[in-house]
Structure 1
Amino acid sequence: MTSMTMTWVAVAVVAVVMLAIASIVLRQRRQRLRRRFGPEYERTLSQRDTRGEAERELRTREKRFATLDIKPLSPQARQSYRARWTKLQAQFVDAPGSTVGEADQLVMAAMAERGYPAGDFQQQLSNLSVVHGRTLHHYRKARQISGRAARDQASTEDLRQAMVHYRVLFEELLDDGDLADSDTDQPQPAAAARDDHPALHGDLRES
């Protein structure tokens, strides 16, 4: 085998190895994004032309999230928020529409105190998706119902569902899961998929 042939063989081997390494790195990066964003990964993929574009969007969200000063709530603040939620549950029977509106405000107050910046709804979703990707659909559902309620187009059952949806994200915001290592799996949805107040009993149904 001539030296020239050996050189070309070596180049080919190096190229194959580099391609294999690149493939492994890409697969690991993709798996990490899937773990972190959960259903939001597929949702973003469905809204973009290519997988690469979707994954760049998710990495951009991660970088933006890293610049935020997200902090845990103090024990006193968590206790206060839970007391306020309990009060909302108690008033739901008499005023379901206004209670859902107050629940929305309470969730946003918890977000602000945790350090999430104020912004439009889509930007809020983008920020939340980095650590709440597995439960973010609950917040979307709640806001959709809240919007219908503002137009008097939501039934009492719809409003009850909105409260249950809000509660899932609310409980996560009161926890410290946001501060977990970005490469670890997200926590499972909060145990509040079913509320503890008699007026709100019932299985959460997806629509």
Structure 2
Amino acid sequence: MSTTAIIILTVVLLLAVVAIVIGIQLGRRRRLQKTFGPEYDRVVADTGSRAEGEKELIERTKRHAQLELKPLSAESRTRYAAAWEEVQIRFVDNPGEAVSTADELVTRLIAERGYPTGDYDERLADLSVEHAATLEHYRAAHDISRRSRDGEAATEDLRQALVHYRALFADLLGEDPVGRTTPAPRPSAETAATTENTTEPGVARTRPDANSR
């Protein structure tokens, strides 16, 4: 075989290898983007590098594969749905306490599904593999809950927190708890606030009593 032929063959083989490598990378990228959705872009932005971001997401996938996750029994789903109904009712008279209880309820549900709950950031990473679609809801709710403990959250913020918590709660539960429970009742005449329907079903919003105007 002539030297020219050898060079041409080598170049062709190198191009083929490069094409295979690029194809593998693109395939992996598409799988990660499909699995993590918006979380893919967030992690890439946080790490400052697509390669580092994808490395982080691959590590999350490996850790997730080692978890012993388990589905909820019908009894557990009923129990959690009832507990969520209590949170909604409590929100009418004590929004801050209701949001705090919602945070605890979501954490218990996460643990019962088999996820570690020790470190918040690791919890997010573990949840992102199967629950990336509702992860931003969890982040928003957790942030409002923290501000509530510091006395920096308004009632509307707390209402939004409950909506955000419900999104992850329903995702983990496998059904919308609001769809199978009664809405929060109107408070008694002695209370200073009444409830009204919101754009998010099942969450009550407080407003001044019409007789006090």
TM over 0.5: yes
Q: Does 1:160 align with 2:170?
A: no
CA RMSD of aligned residues (A): 2.0
1:74 Cα deviation after fit: 0.5
1:45-56 paired onto structure 2 within 5 Å: 45-56=44-55
Structure 2: which 5+ runs fail to align?
185-194, 201-213
Aligned residues: 188
- C-alpha deviations, 1:84-127, integer Å up to 9, x for none? 10111112111111010000000000001000012211011111
Structure 1: which 5+ runs fail to align?
177-189
1:171-182 paired onto structure 2 within 5 Å: 171-175=170-174
Which has the higher Rg, Structure 1 or Structure 2?
A: 2
Aligned to 1:10: 9
CA 1:138–1:196: 2 relative to 1, 3 Å: farther
Instruction: Read off the aligned partner of 2:89 and give its amino acid letter.
Output: A
Which of 193, 197, 202 is 2:198 aligned to? 202
1:196 Cα deviation after fit: 7.4
Looking at structure 1, the residues matched to 60 and 167 of structure 2 have their Cα atoms a distance apart, in angstroms, of 22
Aligned with 2:93: secondary structure? coil
Looking at structure 2, the residues matched to 156 and 49 of structure 1 have their Cα atoms a distance apart, in angstroms, of 36
Instruction: Read off the aligned partner of 1:105 and give its amino acid letter.
Output: E
Greater RCO (CA < 8 Å, at least 6 residues apart): 1
Aligned to 1:137: 136
Instruction: Read off the aligned partner of 2:198 and give its amino acid letter.
Output: G
Runs of 4+ in 1 over 3 A off after TM superposition: 195-201
8 Å Cα contact 2:33/2:40 also seen in 1: yes
Looking at structure 1, the residues matched to 80 and 177 of structure 2 have their Cα atoms a distance apart, in angstroms, of 17
1:4 Cα deviation after fit: 2.2
1:83-102 paired onto structure 2 within 5 Å: 83-102=82-101
Aligned to 1:182: none
